[in-house]
Amino acid sequence: MDINNYLDSTYLKTAEQAGLDFEENKKIVTAFIDEAITNRFKLVMIRPDHVALAKEMIVQARSKLTIGTVIGFPEGTSSLADKLTEAQKAVDDGADDLDFVCNYRAFIDGDLETVKAEILQGTHLGLSHHKIVKWIIETAALTDKQIIQICSMIKNIVLTNFPEEMYQQVFVKSSTGFYRTENNLPNGATIPAIIMMLENASPLSVKAAGGVRTYDEAVEMIKLGVKRIGTSSAKAIASGQESGSHY
């Protein structure tokens, strides 16, 4: 198994979150992109303001590494207009994958029209530019019933509005990795959550993100059926080591 082809090597801390200034944090991002190029990971997942940098480095290295970025991150509560503007800028800068944070709080509150509108329009923007679109549902914030409902809703919107050949370009993704759970409970890719996502999002793909830290855990996720794994520990996973990272 070429596990590297499943790994979205992820660094999503802002300078403030990392306790650094912008240039210091940019150096970390640059090293992360270089690591992803060197190790031939599937994708590097970074904040929107670093997409242009990644594109420049990948072109210079003549690498096949793809670029992913996050939209409406990490809360998902920004307006549809803001999400679409952010997504278009990411596309213009060279992003290949757009990982939208679904407005799961609106979903929990029963405001389904808001959620349906952003899924439809965000997916349309991405697919119309031949990009891969992923919807982060933040499983740790949802009940099992809500996980099933939101996966089914995303699936039904895609199946109703887009041609069959595009289904595999849309993913449901488990977590931002930034959600704070009570009592330090798992905040992302648990086996039960991933199984529910796979069962209720199919034929859409599933990305496991948040908490996959070892090679064995990654292999288990792949055997379940996930197509991508989002992790800040891609190098450790690929080399068979265990990471202390929580994402």
Which residue, among 36, 103, 110, 101, has the nearest Cα to 71 in the 3D structure? 101
Q: Which residues contact 165 (CB under 8 A, 6 or more apart)?
A: none
Give, for 207, the enclosing helix (H) or strand (E).
Answer: strand 205-209
180: Cβ–Cβ under 8 A, 6 or more apart, which residues?
Answer: 187
Contact 120, 157 (CB under 8 A): yes
- For residue 136, the SS3 value is strand
- Token pair in block for residue 109: 């509150």
Residues classed as catalytic: 99, 173, 207
Q: Which helix (H) or strand (E) holds 164?
A: none
Element (H, E) at 16: helix 15-18
Task: Report CA 240 to chain centroid distance, whole Å.
Answer: 23
